[in-house]
Amino acid sequence: MTEDEKFAWLSGRMAIPVGDTKKPDGALGSAAFYPGIPRLGIPAQQQSDASLGVANTTDVRPGDNATALPSSLLLGATFDPATARETGEMVGREAVAKGFNVQLGGGANIVREPRGGRNFEYVSEDPLLTGIIAGHSVAGIQSQGVVSTVKHFALNAQETGRVLANSVLGLGALHESDLLAFRIAIETGAPGAVMPGYNLVNGDWASESEYLLNTVLKGEWGYPGWVMSDWGATHSTVKAALAGLDVQSGANLDPEPFFADPLRAAVVAGQVPQARVDDMVARQLRSLFAVGVIDTADTPDGAIDYMAHRLIAQRAAERGIVLLKNEGDILPAPRRMRRVLVIGRRADVGMLAGGGSSAVSPVGSLSVEGSAVMGVPMAKVYHPSSPLHAIKAESGAAQVDFVDGTDAGKAVEAAAEADMVFLFAEEWRTEGEDRPGLNLPDDQDALIAAVASANPRTVVIVQSGGAVAMPWLDEVPAVLAAFYAGSGGGEAIAGILFGRVNPSGHLPISFPRDVGQLPIPEQRDPATTTSNPGMPVEGEVFDIDYNIEGSDVGYRWYAREGLVPLFQFGHGLSYTAFDHRDLTADHRDDAVVATVTVRNTGDRAGATVVQLYVSRSGAGGFVPRLGGFARIDLKPGEHRDVTLRIDPRLLARFDATARLWVREAGAYTLRVADGALADGLNSSIVLPAASFTD
């Protein structure tokens, strides 16, 4: 490659027209484009967002639609690597058919901030679950010959002041939590690229953190792929290049084209070695070859089986939607009722989606005004899967009425007349801003309470981008957490409500009672000087002290502090019942392997998630951690022995000085339970001391 060819791959602008920036020649229109080198048989890089489907931000490719997967939280709730893989393959197939060869997927941040605007793009609050699920969706995408990223490396937990937030966390805790999630995702999925976040980590921007990029990622982990900045998240030339950043993405959003002429000048001045520039390019080529992009470059055929893909999205939602409460077994609802009422802002239209760069618009989506992210207007999208229509089809009810709930009086009146009410609550989250709190917006809490008092057979379906408070919980008999359920979400929800589908999702995040239970009850919101909350151009860097919780994120925080959340990580009900027996543990070939027998004791077929938690008191101790999990389908009366191998890192602490995982000698507790904080079946194992590198 000539120097010009190399440099054309080191700094790229958005391939979406923004302000004076035009779409580059040859670009399909998407997050980024880097020109091909036909002389060498190297195709252009056409990079598109993201994990939930192939995005078409601002309709830059007019009329180009795609299948929308359920949000990553809902994928996390399946606890199912196979579903992650299958949905990843679907995204990969659509990307290839549309001509994209790099997909900016693989959200692998752990959910530390329950109000976080992008929580729906992440899998869970747990490093093991996040790493496994994100890793399998990356593997699925890449199996189609499309590179996937993992992002946003690392500790990028909130949107408030996102480019000024300095995430502060001790290194031991960092490795045991957020870095462990990325490490497992990378081991599982071998993503071709890694995208650092907008934030700073312990004082350095993630995109120029010597520790994150050179020491850990490329050094200790031996990561062979490339590191592309987030869009507008590069802050320097020499520091970033020497710290391990390989590509400046979205350069038109940065104050300078750091990795274009300034990098050439730095090479000439001897500040950045030529070998570093060659490495930046070689890493990209390595991943493009490794994933098969170069081999498959000539074969896109444009054909997409949208019906089949919608069904994949629906099945994923059916496996992930969580039945939180079901008092008196009010669900599954009886079929052929006389009169059913559906309430919800757009419950006649479709499923709410999260906003920002990851938003996907299937054919027939409804877009209403949302927010602006980086100056680009981001619509609030409803995927065309109407729960009202699906309930009509699934229920066989003689009459299904609908009110949108904006007039509470009218909703209450209609509720009093109905045999049963299905109330769809919604909470929109978007990239660029966090939720101000945990309560549902627009007086929906009051609406739910009023409707429930008019009709005690009111079921609430919460569509949200994360945890929400439920001040009305005692007043309603049943609640479903549907997160954002994607292209087939309406049918999935109706299937669960009327019993075609036995619910099997388990919460991938804890739901706090209120913000008072959080490590940081009040988020600090630094004053910014632009009207765009996602991208302040001026302002002071400010610290977020994650040492308060350390590596004890989510359920581990509640366990450590003795707090009882509203719903705990791992919670999820079924229409059948399962029991666990005979938990044994063995120490073989340096790994701890646990076996438990699980049985379906009810009278319906269903899937359960065997959750194994590990903990230890005393030296080198820790509060419960998810040590292993398996999702299995069982017929009534059927039982199975399930074997789980515990990742050795989950029985150890990370010593950041020695650069080693250290396991103390002594007793470790194992527990199989239906939730991180629930009682269950206990066992223990005595282990010798051990230490090993990351």
Residues noted as catalytic: 230
Tell me the site size for ligand BGC, rule CB under 6 A: 9
Give the separation between CA 581 and CA 596, rounded to whole angstroms: 6
Q: Is 134 in the site for ligand BGC (CB under 6 A)?
A: no
The secondary structure of 680-692 as a DSSP string is EEEEEEEE--EEE
Q: What is the largest CA-CA distance in the chain?
A: 81
- The burial class, CB within 10 Å (0-12 / 13-18 / 19+), for 236 is buried
Single-letter residue type at 281 = V
List 8, 10, 50, 670, residue binding ligand BGC (CB under 6 A) = 50
Q: Which is nearer to ligand BGC, 13 or 183 (CB)?
A: 13
Q: Is 247 in the site for ligand BGC (CB under 6 A)?
A: no
Q: Is 113 in the site for ligand BGC (CB under 6 A)?
A: no
Phi, psi of 448 (to 5 degrees): -60, -45
User: Is the separation of the CB atoms in 634 and 578 below 8 Å?
Assistant: yes
Q: Is 402 in the site for ligand BGC (CB under 6 A)?
A: no
The secondary structure of 412-449 as a DSSP string is HHHHHH-SEEEEEEE---BTTB--SSSSPSTTHHHHHH
Binding mask 651-680 for ligand BGC (x = CB under 6 A): ------------------------------
Give the separation between CA 57 and CA 505, rounded to whole angstroms: 30
List 176, 208, 230, 491, residue binding ligand BGC (CB under 6 A) = 230
Q: What SS3 state is found at 379?
A: strand
Q: Which is nearer to ligand BGC, 154 or 630 (CB)?
A: 154
Q: Is 13 in the site for ligand BGC (CB under 6 A)?
A: no
Q: Which is nearer to ligand BGC, 263 or 374 (CB)?
A: 374
Radius of gyration for the alpha carbons in the chain, expressed in angstroms and rounded: 25
Q: Which is nearer to ligand BGC, 232 or 488 (CB)?
A: 232
User: Is the separation of the CB atoms in 661 and 652 below 8 Å?
Assistant: yes
List 27, 31, 68, 91, residue binding ligand BGC (CB under 6 A) = 31
Beta bridge partners of 349: none
Backbone angle region of 44, left / alpha / beta, with phi > 0 → left and psi within -120 to 50 → alpha? beta
Quick one: DSSP state of residue 141?
A: H
Evaluated on CA atoms 273, 278, 279, 284, the torsion sign reads positive
List 8, 45, 46, 49, residue binding ligand BGC (CB under 6 A) = 49
Give the separation between CA 518 and CA 118, rounded to whole angstroms: 18
Q: Which is nearer to ligand BGC, 138 or 347 (CB)?
A: 138
Nearest approach in angstroms of CB 126 to ligand BGC is 21
CA 116 to chain centre: 11
Give the separation between CA 60 and CA 353, rounded to whole angstroms: 19
Q: Which is nearer to ligand BGC, 31 or 438 (CB)?
A: 31
Nearest to 461 by CA among 488, 494, 438, 439: 494
List 151, 309, 383, 631, residue binding ligand BGC (CB under 6 A) = 151
Binding mask 364-383 for ligand BGC (x = CB under 6 A): ----------x---------
Single-letter residue type at 527 = A
Q: Is 487 in the site for ligand BGC (CB under 6 A)?
A: no
Nearest approach in angstroms of CB 266 to ligand BGC is 25
Q: Which is nearer to ligand BGC, 374 or 379 (CB)?
A: 374
Give the separation between CA 54 and CA 409, rounded to whole angstroms: 41
* DSSP tally for the chain: helices H, then strands E: 17, 30
Q: Which is nearer to ligand BGC, 142 or 502 (CB)?
A: 142
User: Is the separation of the CB atoms in 443 and 367 below 8 Å?
Assistant: no
Q: Is 231 in the site for ligand BGC (CB under 6 A)?
A: yes
Nearest approach in angstroms of CB 592 to ligand BGC is 36
Give the separation between CA 104 and CA 102, rounded to whole angstroms: 6
Nearest approach in angstroms of CB 504 to ligand BGC is 30
∠ CA 43-239-654, nearest 5°, is 95
Alpha helices in 68-161 (DSSP H): 72-78, 81-98, 127-142
Return the residues of window 338-357 that contact ligand BGC according to CB under 6 A. 357
- Per the listing, tokens 């949302």 go with 370
Cα 368 to Cα 155, 311, 466, 475, 593: the distances in Å are 31, 25, 21, 32, 51
Q: Which is nearer to ligand BGC, 205 or 622 (CB)?
A: 205
The secondary structure of 549-594 as a DSSP string is TTT--THHHHHHHT---SB-TT--B-SS-EEEEEEEEEEETTEEEE
Give the separation between CA 116 and CA 157, rounded to whole angstroms: 7
Beta bridge partners of 599: 579, 639
Nearest approach in angstroms of CB 253 to ligand BGC is 9
Nearest approach in angstroms of CB 250 to ligand BGC is 6
Q: Which is nearer to ligand BGC, 103 or 504 (CB)?
A: 103
List 77, 104, 304, 507, residue binding ligand BGC (CB under 6 A) = 104
Single-letter residue type at 331 = L
Binding site for ligand BGC (CB under 6 A): 31, 49-50, 104, 151, 230-231, 357, 374
